[in-house]
Structure 1
Amino acid sequence: MDVMTFFKVFSACLAISFLFLPAAHASDACDHVSRIGDATERNSFRAYVTGALTQPPNPAQVTITDVLQQAPWTIVGAEIPDADGVGYFLYQAEGTKQLFYGIWGGMADPSESGEVATWATDQGAPPELARCFASIATGE
């Protein structure tokens, strides 16, 4: 392999590795948190999201982007019509019910990760769940 080909391959590999850094970091922050990957199971949380809104949209219009769980707490990331970005809905299970504790929405950058995690722990979420949520919400 000549030098030019080596540098092209090396540059491509380096660029690709940077694409996976945020995901790897979020993964580390979420090591002790369950994440629901199955779309059908995630969509079962639509009713919780619409139930927390004063003017709920049709549940079919809600897109569940992420479900993070650390018993008995759940954070549901959802896109709803007429809202910018993802809103995160915080619940605590009590028996067969999911009690709504709060919603966090808006843009945050990685430097605000601590503030985002503090919001979740102030609502009652366990620290591990709060750190995982903050890493996802800030793209850290």
Structure 2
Amino acid sequence: MNIVQQIEAEQVARRAAERPVPEFGPGDTLRVSVRVVEGERTRLQAFEGVCIARKNAGINSSFTVRKISYGEGVERVFPLYSPNVAEIKVMRRGDVRRAKLYYLRGRTGKAARIAEKLGLGAGAPAEAPGEAPAEGQNGAEQA
């Protein structure tokens, strides 16, 4: 690992410790809170939409979020480790089979919907390894 990669890895670790980054990918609906400076005031502005792309490039990682606002498609690219990104919250998980969802740009209405991911991968509480299933859920009825 050369010196530049080492410095970038340290920066990523430091920024991830300050603000943890949730696991998300294309198809997930995200709410990104961005710090907006207006004069001397600073406020948070939420941008909620579907993640259509994610670029993993160390400290230069970014993700693209798309939403429809008043009938117009709006896309915004956020640097993953930017100090202006206050929070990233995953609202729902999308079930997609592509890494880049650029085809959503040409779709509107129902055609642009993404199915929700169901099951353990969607953040559902998993059963602990030591727990027994609840009464009547193990498939075999006891008489």
Task: Give your verdict on TM over 0.5.
Answer: no
Tell me the TM-score normalised to structure 1 length. 0.28
Tell me the TM-score normalised to structure 2 length. 0.27
More strand by share: 2
